């Protein structure tokens, strides 16, 4: 990292990954108190512009940093000694942030819904428990869209989050607050969630790495909104970080025993360092739907650069076979159909419209959507325009059960074709979005462009968003790498190779 980039990131220390910071703590070159204080200062510097961190936990973090310092000193056996790797939890003393959709004890746990603004978590979510058991110190909670269901992070409780590379641009959703604060060098890592691209789009728009694992790999205990049935595999939790090297260790921590559902019989998480790219087929998918925008020239060039870099590592790059490409053109409808089919005949499951009216005490009073639509221009609605539009789309499609069933079967056909194509070894590279970091509100004009990422949720395939530096305007570029079911190691291996060849994260000017 250049000295100018280091300065703009708040110093070289804050540009380092979580594993590097943990190593500095174990070597006693740095104390947890110093590290946590540096991140708090950075949050205080950038957050007024970003609006990414919405719940502050600074005093508790300082106390936990002092406790971590005492544990490290005891493990070192003296003031100047080093701590052996494995003698303490792997992230002891390293700060992090928590997406507001995950329960963090004592903090507002609203999922961005105004009606839940007074609900506070009674305990940590299991994923948060695992992260803290690994020694990490939460600094606070980060912003999300209303009910975590849109490409822009904005809600009526906390407001809108801005991109650290250009404040007029979006950070993506729903893990937008996480990606923004990590990109700004104010948090080393966080755990996001992803049902339609909510890890990968924010990671892409903010120029960091984000891994959506195989469906069911990481538990969504105490996540709001909740999941059910097949949606528990479509919605995934996974790490967001500035370096590809951090992804697998963070995923192992979040996954615990490696699977949230024993019935899935997922293979153990592999080692990306042992994955050989030479001779591995990489298929290029450049466009995923009749209802989506085609990739911009900048995005096509980024995709070509990524393909060329993987070829330099010995991969065999080929275009996506015609049949898979043809089926992929229905990506937005396939995603909607497979989610709709998962909710069919489930009266116990709240619809999106009902969730909009769920209150802190659990009662449900769904809003009048037409009335809320009329209130929007005057700033009188407690709901955002995307949430109202999504609820209207949901209602419009609620009676089309036969159509939904046909889309579900089409999705199953595509899944079979993709699984046969990947067969445990091959990879797919694709745009994460057809354009990089749009300006605020622009996604409303292209509501189905999320399908570039959403398709792989319902396919239950692991996918990693990989930054590829900045474009001519200083806005992050990137691609996503999709691997076979259960092969997160292969997806992350490609991310490591691309980071090595093309640079990865670049510090923002903020």
Specify whether 491 is catalytic: no
Measure the CA angle with vertex 301, ends 434 and 438; round to 5°: 35
Please, what is the angle between helix 488-502 and helix 247-255, to 10°? 150
**CB count, 10 Å around CB of 221?**
18
Mapped to the 3 state alphabet, what secondary structure does 58-91 carry?
Answer: HHHHHHHHHHHHHHHHHHHCCCCCCCCCCCCCCC
Catalytic residue chosen out of the listed positions 31, 99, 259, 491? 99
Cβ atoms of residues 127 and 102 within 8 Å: yes
- Catalytic annotation on 212? no
* Furthest C-alpha separation in the chain: 70
Separation of alpha carbons 33 and 25, rounded Å? 10
Locate 351 and state its tokens. 């619809």
Element (H, E) at 299: helix 297-312
- To the query of whether residue 363 is one of the catalytic residues in this protein, the response is no
How many whole angstroms separate alpha carbon 336 and alpha carbon 450? Answer: 11
Active-site residue (options: 110, 154, 174, 222): 174
Q: Which helix (H) or strand (E) holds 478?
A: strand 476-483
Q: Which of 8, 154, 175, 198 is catalytic?
A: 198
| Sequence-ordered list of residues with C-beta below 8 angstroms from that of 295, at least 6 positions apart, any chain | 286, 287, 303, 431, 434, 435
- The residues annotated with a catalytic role in the active site are 99, 174, 198
């Amino acid at each position: 990292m250049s000295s100018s980039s280091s300065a703009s990131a708040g110093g070289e220390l804050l540009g380092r990954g979580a594993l590097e910071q943990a190593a500095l703590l174990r070597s006693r070159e740095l104390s947890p108190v110093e590290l946590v204080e540096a991140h708090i200062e950075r949050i205080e510097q950038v957050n007024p512009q970003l609006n990414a961190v919405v719940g502050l936990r600074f005093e508790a973090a300082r106390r936990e940093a002092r406790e971590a310092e005492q544990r490290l000193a005891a493990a070192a056996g003296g003031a100047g000694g080093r701590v052996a790797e494995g003698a303490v939890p792997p992230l002891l003393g390293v700060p992090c942030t928590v997406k507001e959709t995950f329960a963090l004890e004592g903090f507002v746990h609203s999922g961005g819904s105004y009606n839940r603004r007074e609900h506070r978590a009674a305990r940590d979510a299991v994923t948060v428990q695992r992260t803290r058991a690994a020694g990490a110190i939460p600094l606070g909670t980060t912003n999300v869209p209303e009910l975590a269901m849109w490409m822009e992070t904005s809600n009526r409780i906390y407001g809108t989050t801005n991109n650290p590379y250009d404040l007029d641009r979006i950070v993506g959703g729903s893990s937008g607050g996480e990606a923004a604060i990590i990109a700004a060098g104010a948090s080393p890592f966080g755990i996001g969630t992803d049902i339609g691209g909510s890890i990968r789009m924010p990671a892409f728009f903010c120029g960091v790495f984000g891994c959506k694992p195989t469906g069911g790999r990481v538990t969504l205990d105490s996540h709001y909104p909740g999941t059910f049935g097949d949606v528990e595999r479509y919605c995934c939790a996974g790490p967001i970080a500035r370096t590809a090297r951090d992804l697998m260790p963070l995923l192992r921590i979040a996954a615990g025993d490696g699977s949230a559902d024993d019935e899935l019989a997922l293979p153990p998480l592999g080692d990306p360092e042992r994955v050989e790219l030479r001779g591995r087929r990489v298929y290029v998918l450049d466009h995923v739907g009749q209802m989506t925008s085609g990739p911009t020239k900048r995005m096509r060039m980024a995709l070509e650069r990524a393909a060329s870099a993987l070829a330099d590592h010995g991969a065999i790059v080929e275009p996506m076979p015609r049949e898979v490409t043809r089926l992929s053109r229905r990506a937005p409808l396939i995603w909607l159909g497979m989610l709709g089919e998962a909710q069919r005949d489930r009266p116990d499951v709240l619809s999106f419209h009902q969730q909009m009216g769920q209150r802190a005490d659990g009662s449900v009073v769904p809003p009048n959507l037409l009335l809320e639509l009329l209130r929007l221009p005057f700033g009188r609605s407690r709901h955002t325009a995307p949430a109202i539009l999504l609820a209207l789309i949901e209602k419009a499609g609620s009676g089309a059960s036969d159509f939904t069933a046909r889309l579900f079967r089409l999705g199953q056909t595509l899944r079979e074709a993709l699984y046969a194509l990947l067969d445990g070894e091959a990879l797919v590279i694709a745009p994460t979005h057809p354009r990089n970091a749009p300006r605020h509100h622009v996604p409303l004009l292209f509501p189905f462009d999320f399908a570039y990422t959403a398709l792989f949720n319902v396919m239950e395939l692991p996918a990693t968003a990989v930054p590829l530096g900045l474009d001519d305007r200083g806005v992050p570029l990137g691609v996503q790498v999709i691997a076979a079911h259960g092969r997160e190691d292969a997806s992350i291996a490609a991310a490591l190779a691309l980071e090595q060849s093309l640079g990865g994260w670049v510090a923002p000017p903020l």
